[in-house]
Amino acid sequence: MIRSGICFVVLLSACGHPAPVTTSGTGTGSPPPAEAGLVAFETVRSVLQHPRCQNCHPQGETPLQGDAGHPHLQNVQRGPDGHGMVGERCTTCHGPANPPDSYGAHLPPGIASGWRMPRPEQRLVFVGVAPGALCEQIKDPARNGGKDMAALRTHLDDPLVTWGWSPGFGRAPIAVPRQAFLDAWTAWANAGAPCPR
């Protein structure tokens, strides 16, 4: 079988046809799994570093607002559990759902699982983090809230995460379609979750 395959390739080459192209021995012409995983991670990264996600994953203690990522008004702070400070909890203004569009722009959005930021000891910063460092911290249970890859995938279905694709009146949703993001996440995870250098 191998000998006849080699003869076929030699025959095609002799007739002026290029030999079939394979990449890294996969035999499919597709990139090797690690390379495909890195391509998929770029889609994941673009979502995580979109303002809808970054605003709750800042470098400091203050959440950000808007597409420009300006510090949250009213001196809002992360608090000891990520739900805000006493007397100024996230749910004081952020209800269980987005207000109706008819209420206009610039009203606090809401979600069923409760508005929040990561806990202070596991900040999971997205703002200003290089792709490789972002990738490494996402996978690190010591920095991501103790989650393995399966738990991280489950987290992607949390209403706070899915809100990014339906952020309410006056806010730009995440540009990458949600299913494309989930497909990229799965491709990245299935490739061994490689990180760019």
Residues 169-179 have pLDDT tens digits of: 999 999 999 99
User: Is 164:174 a contact under the CB 8 Å cutoff?
Assistant: yes
The terminus-to-terminus CA distance of the chain in angstroms comes to 41
pLDDT higher than threshold 80 for residue 120: yes
Q: What is the average pLDDT across 81-104? A: 95
Contact 98, 168 (CB under 8 A): yes
pLDDT over 70 (residue 40): yes
Model pTM score: 0.82
* DSSP SS3 for 128: coil
